[in-house]
Structure 1
Amino acid sequence: MADVIGPENEADLQAQIEEVEALSSIYGDEWCVIDEASRIFCIKISNDLEEPELTARLQIILPSDYPSRAPPIYQINAAWLRGPERAKLANSLEDLYVEHAGDSILYLWVEKIREFLLERCQSSETAAQPEMVNMTTEEEDHDEDAPDFRTLGLDAELAQLLMDPSHDEEVPPIKHGDAITDRRSTFQPHLAPVVTPRQVKMVLEKLMENKKIASATHNIYAYRILCEDRGGFLQDCEDDGETAAGGRLLHLLQILDVRNVMVVVSRWYGGVLLGPDRFKHINNCARNILVEEGYAASSDEATKPGAKTKRPKGKKTK
Structure 2
Amino acid sequence: MEDNVTKQADEIEALASIYGDDWKVEDEVNRSYSISLKECGQEITLYFILPPEYPSTAPPKYQLSAPGLKPEEKNLIISALDELSILQCGQTVIYEWVEKVRELVQDFLPLDKGTEDFGIDSAAFSSVTCEQQEYEFELPQIIHGETITDRKSVFQGHAAPVFYAEQVKAILQKLYENKKIANATHNMYAYRIFKDDTKSFLQDCEDDGETHAGGRLLHLLQILDMKNVLVVVTRWYGGILLGPDRFRHINNAARQVLEQGGFVQKSDTNQHRKKKK
Structure 1 length as normaliser, TM-score? Answer: 0.44
- Report the TM-score when normalising by structure 2: 0.50
Relative to its length, the structure with more strand (as a share) is 2
